[in-house]
Amino acid sequence: MSSPSTTGPAAPIPTIHGGTGTTPRKERPRSWPIVAAAGTTVLLWASAFVGIRFAGHDYSPGAMALGRMMAASVALTVFVAVTAQPPRRIALPGRGTLGLVALWGVAWFGGYNVALNAAERLVDAGTAALLVAVAPILVAVAAVLVLGERLTGRLGVGVAVAFVGVALIAASGFTGHADKLGVALAVLSALLYAFGVLLQKRLLARMDAPTMTWLGALAGTVALLPFTPTLLAELAAAEPPATLGVLFLGVFPTAIGFLTWGYVLSRWTAGRTTAATYLVPPVTVLLSWTLLGEVPAPLALLGGALCLTGVVFATRR
């Protein structure tokens, strides 16, 4: 549950008073739809961590990711077809941009989903969400290493605090024992998440969010097709609630959640959008406790608090 250059709304045009008339002030875009979209994204993405734990008893990581992305691709295809302007006409990007969108989709919808699904077989939903929450700090570090941004003392302290938090989580793990593989997989998910956000933010300057989400989902689905035999076998043996859980993951946290995320990311600054995702871990812990009866170990909660503290400190402007 995380970014380069901003594409925020244009600044309002000031009113110019003159002898013959007045240039009207350009209206600022309403903020409540963006806030509502951000809240929807937070709730749906938090529910995804719980949904993965729920369906993970019947579906393996690759099969669950494929089933989720097939459902998401169908939902997004319908959405794009219905909203295309003019009807039945979808504007596709150039070949170079299309390749980058495919890379983004494979990394986030493919790699991220498989890694997170595998992680949540070893750690509870709340712990996984707390670990993935370090993604914004990875984005900040990448901006220093790749984009040449200045390394600040605030970033250094934030990284150190977040690292201590991850270490504490690794020392606790799920049900009180250390599971370093689960922690490593969750951190890998955070790395793929950070890469996805960096690339998506750049690509949103070239194309609209719904089309990018749709194309990325298709690319991720194609990359996951090798898991088809496993999905078919597990689909035949799975309990209906687990299958409904996979469909829920595809339609709601993925299709709807990424549409609202793209909407927010294209209208808010990277820092402001990232700040909204800080709410995902606590909401996940609350949902996991309420629906699954899972609560991260006390040491993991302390580590998660340190992770969030480090992220907020490092990314605060």
> 168-183: per-residue pLDDT in tens?
777 775 444 447 888 8
Average pLDDT over residues 113-139: 88
> Is the model's pLDDT at 215 over the cut of 70?
yes
Lowest mean pLDDT among 3-17, 100-114, 116-130, 269-283: 3-17
User: What does the pLDDT read at residue 271?
Assistant: 57
Kindly state the average pLDDT of the residues 31-38. 85
How much is the pLDDT for 126? 85
Q: What is the pLDDT of residue 316?
A: 65
282 falls in which pLDDT band (50, 70, 90)? confident
Range of lowest pLDDT (127-141, 165-179, 188-202): 165-179
Whether residue 137 lies inside any domain: the answer is yes
Cβ atoms of 129 and 281 closer than 8 Å: yes
Indicate the pTM of the whole model: 0.80
Q: Is residue 159 part of a domain?
A: yes
Structural domain total, the chain: 1
Least confident of 18-32, 48-62, 146-160, 250-264: 18-32
Residues 305 and 165: beta-carbon distance below 8 Å: yes
17 beta partners: 22
| Higher-scoring residue by pLDDT: 72, 208 | 72
| Domain-located, residue 13 | no
Other CB atoms within 10 A of residue 176 CB: 11
* 11: confidence class by pLDDT, cuts 50, 70, 90: very low
The residue type of 267 is: R
- Please list, residue by residue across 43-77, b when 16 or more beta carbons sit within 10 angstroms of its beta carbon and e when fewer do: bbbbbbbbbbbbbbebbbbbbbbbbbbbbbbbbbe
Q: Residue 265: what residue type? A: L
Mean pLDDT confidence for 122-131: 87
Q: Determine what percent of the chain is predicted with pLDDT higher than 70.
A: 81
pLDDT of residue 294: 86
- The CA distance from 240 to 246, in Å, is 10
Q: Is the pLDDT reported for residue 262 higher than 90? A: no
Domain around 116: 31-315
pLDDT, greater one: 19 or 231: 231
Domain assignment of residue 51, yes or no: yes
22 domain residue, yes or no: no
Residue 178 lies in a domain: yes
**Reduced 3-state DSSP string for the chain:** CCCCCCCCCCCCCCCEECCCCEECCCCCCCCHHHHHHHHHHHHHHHHHHHHHHHHCCCCCHHHHHHHHHHHHHHHHHHHHHHHCCCCCCCCCCCHHHHHHHHHHHHHHHHHHHHHHHHHCCCCCHHHHHHHHCCHHHHHHHHHHHCCCCCCCHHHHHHHHHHHHHHHHHHHHCHHHCCCHHHHHHHHHHHHHHHHHHHHHHHHCCCCCHHHHHHHHHHHHHHHHHHHHHHHHHHHHHCCHHHHHHHHHHHHHHHHHHHHHHHHHHCCCCHHHHHHHHHHHHHHHHHHHHHHHCCCCCHHHHHHHHHHHHHHHHHHCC
Residues 126-132 have a mean pLDDT of 86
Confidence label for 17 from pLDDT (cuts 50, 70 and 90)? very low
Q: Taking 70 as the threshold, does the pLDDT of residue 3 lie above it?
A: no
Q: Is the pLDDT of residue 81 over 70?
A: yes
Residue recorded with tokens 């959405």: 79
Q: pLDDT over 90 for what percent of the chain? A: 38
Q: Is the pLDDT of residue 133 over 70?
A: yes
Assigned domain for 92 exists: yes
What does the longest C-alpha to C-alpha distance in the chain come to?
A: 79
| Domain presence at residue 284 | yes
Among 29-43, 44-58, 106-120, 246-260, the minimum mean pLDDT is found in 29-43
What is the band of 47 on the pLDDT scale with cuts at 50, 70, 90?
very high
Q: Give backbone dihedrals phi and psi of 126, rounded to 5 degrees, phi first.
A: -65, -45
